[in-house]
């Protein structure tokens, strides 16, 4: 940045517009009136590699709840929200993939303020052009979970997102009805995997069936026996989207030699890696924020979103949206968050913002 740009930038900060943001300044129970508060704060300014986005909708993920519960920086206003669809209103000098006016979607980074605000800055590499044929609400359900599902298939299992490129391979998805599971079922089917997923409540079973799951197991019953029953005693891949600790002994029992296991759920105790040692099987964590947090290969997430947008527009994938709150209000953010906190969410919960903020 040259001197003139610096002066402009400082001047810009001085005359920054205000905006509404919904956040909190300490960990509080969801029912606490102060769990979320609305504030007028200065609009953020993008740096050279970032864009400024006018947010049109967000969705709530389990990570919002985890970050609020674990919040340590008491007194500092924190804005959550790790899904967004919005309109580009400013681009950094190094940004070439986006222009002002583009409709974009992204999950963003834990290192920055989130999308529960009228405007947000985000690293351009983490962003994709939004699909054209979906509503704002439908789009905002997708980014975080799509990136996670993509990284499970691509980074952990080594697959490209090519239609029916795989045959005679199977994946067991533990908890297919949640946010990540709902898109992972579809992406796995798209590339040609046989998809086996767990689901228990009738509405969950109906949901995963509608997404294309080939076999649906009841996680209240013995999974090993059910897999034998459907003639898949061992599977090529397992995606653990719930209770890694609880499912680990089963997973190591049913993974094929040279199979791969991915988990997005932290362990609360050590796990026995021994059963994988001599069978060439591998375990990987998938944590979609790691790339943004460490500025590693961020563009892979933007590229994943570009690809997902094409598949959504073509109808190869469908949105995982199941519930919409209309209006950017504290009560809607609270209600959407409460739904996710209660668990057992099917698909995704979205908050669509008002036009005026």
Kindly state the smallest distance separating residue 53's Cβ from a second copy, in Å: 25
Applying the rule CB under 8 A, the residues between 203 and 232 that interact with a second copy are: none
Kindly state the smallest distance separating residue 263's Cβ from a second copy, in Å: 8
Q: Does 253 bind a second copy (CB under 8 A)?
A: no
Which one, 102 or 245, has the nearer CB to a second copy? Answer: 245
Kindly state the smallest distance separating residue 157's Cβ from a second copy, in Å: 13
Q: Does 33 bind a second copy (CB under 8 A)?
A: no
Kindly state the smallest distance separating residue 110's Cβ from a second copy, in Å: 9
Q: What is the DSSP letter of 355?
A: S
Cα 318 from Cα 141, distance rounded (Å):
11
Which one, 158 or 327, has the nearer CB to a second copy? Answer: 158
Kindly state the smallest distance separating residue 252's Cβ from a second copy, in Å: 11
Q: Does 167 bind a second copy (CB under 8 A)?
A: no
SS (H, E, C) 303-328: HHHHHHHHHHHHCCCCCCEEEEEECC
Which one, 157 or 328, has the nearer CB to a second copy? Answer: 157
Which one, 52 or 255, has the nearer CB to a second copy? Answer: 255
Which one, 160 or 266, has the nearer CB to a second copy? Answer: 266
Kindly state the smallest distance separating residue 257's Cβ from a second copy, in Å: 4
Cα 314 from Cα 294, distance rounded (Å):
33
Kindly state the smallest distance separating residue 261's Cβ from a second copy, in Å: 11
Cα 261 from Cα 156, distance rounded (Å):
8
Binding track, positions 259-298, relative to a second copy; x by CB under 8 A: -------xxxxxxxxx-xxxxxxxxxx-x-xxx-xx-x--
Q: What is the DSSP letter of 102?
A: -
Kindly state the smallest distance separating residue 297's Cβ from a second copy, in Å: 8
Which residues, 6 or more positions from 336, have their beta carbon under 8 angstroms from its beta carbon? 59, 60, 323, 325, 349, 350, 351
Kindly state the smallest distance separating residue 228's Cβ from a second copy, in Å: 20
Which one, 36 or 289, has the nearer CB to a second copy? Answer: 289
- Cα three-residue angle 142-146-147, rounded to 5 degrees: 125
Applying the rule CB under 8 A, the residues between 293 and 352 that interact with a second copy are: 293-294, 296
Nearest to 149 by CA among 59, 15, 227, 239: 239
Kindly state the smallest distance separating residue 150's Cβ from a second copy, in Å: 15
Which residues, 6 or more positions from 21, have their beta carbon under 8 angstroms from its beta carbon? 38, 39, 40, 41, 77, 79, 113, 116, 117, 118
Residue from 201, 258, 326, 343 in contact with a second copy (CB under 8 A): 258
181 CB burial (10 A radius; 0-12, 13-18, 19+): buried
Which one, 226 or 287, has the nearer CB to a second copy? Answer: 287
Which one, 8 or 295, has the nearer CB to a second copy? Answer: 295
What is the size of the binding site for a second copy (CB under 8 A)?
28
Q: Does 1 bind a second copy (CB under 8 A)?
A: no
Q: Does 180 bind a second copy (CB under 8 A)?
A: no
Which one, 39 or 154, has the nearer CB to a second copy? Answer: 154
Q: Return the sign of the alpha-carbon dihedral for residues 10, 15, 20, 22.
A: positive
Which one, 281 or 336, has the nearer CB to a second copy? Answer: 281
Locate 82 and state its tokens: 């790790």
Cα 242 from Cα 177, distance rounded (Å):
11
Cα 24 from Cα 39, distance rounded (Å):
9
Give yes or no for a contact between 137 and 352, defined as CB atoms under 8 angstroms apart.
Answer: yes
Which residues, 6 or more positions from 353, have their beta carbon under 8 angstroms from its beta carbon? 55, 56, 57, 58, 118, 327, 328
How distant is the alpha carbon of residue 232 from its chain centre? 29
Summarize as ranges the residues that interact with a second copy (CB under 8 A): 257-258, 266-274, 276-285, 287, 289-291, 293-294, 296
């Amino acid at each position: 940045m040259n001197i003139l740009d610096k002066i402009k930038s400082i001047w810009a900060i001085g005359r920054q517009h205000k905006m509404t943001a919904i956040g909190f300044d300490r960990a509080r129970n969801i029912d606490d009136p102060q769990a979320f508060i609305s504030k007028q704060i200065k609009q953020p300014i993008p740096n050279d590699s970032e864009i400024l986005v006018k947010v049109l909708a967000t969705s709530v993920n389990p990570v919002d709840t985890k970050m609020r519960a674990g919040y340590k920086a008491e007194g500092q206003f924190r804005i959550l929200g790790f899904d967004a669809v919005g309109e580009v209103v400013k681009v950094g000098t190094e940004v070439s993939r986006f222009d002002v006016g583009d409709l974009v979607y992204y999950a963003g980074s834990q290192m920055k303020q989130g999308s529960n605000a009228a405007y947000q800055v985000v690293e351009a590499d983490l962003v994709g052009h939004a699909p054209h044929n979906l509503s704002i609400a439908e789009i905002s359900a997708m980014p975080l979970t799509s990136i996670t599902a993509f990284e499970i298939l691509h980074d952990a299992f080594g697959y490209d997102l090519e239609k029916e490129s795989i045959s005679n391979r199977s994946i067991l998805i533990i908890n297919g009805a949640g946010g990540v599971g709902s898109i992972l079922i579809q992406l796995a089917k798209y590339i040609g995997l046989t998809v086996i997923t767990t689901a228990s409540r009738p509405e969950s079973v109906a949901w995963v069936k509608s997404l294309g799951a080939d076999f649906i197991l009841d996680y209240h019953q013995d999974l090993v026996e059910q897999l034998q029953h459907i003639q898949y005693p061992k599977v090529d891949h397992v995606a653990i989207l719930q209770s890694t600790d609880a499912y680990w002994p089963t997973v190591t029992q049913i993974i094929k030699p040279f199979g791969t296991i991915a988990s997005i759920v932290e362990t609360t105790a050590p796990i026995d890696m021994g059963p994988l040692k001599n069978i060439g099987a591998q375990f990987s964590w998938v944590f979609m924020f790691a790339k943004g947090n460490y500025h590693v290969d961020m563009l892979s997430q933007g590229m994943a979103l570009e690809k997902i947008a094409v598949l959504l527009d073509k109808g190869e994938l469908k949105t995982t949206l199941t519930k919409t709150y209309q209006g950017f209000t504290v009560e809607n953010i609270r209600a959407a968050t409460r739904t996710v906190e209660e668990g057992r969410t099917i698909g995704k919960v979205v908050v669509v913002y008002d036009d005026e903020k």
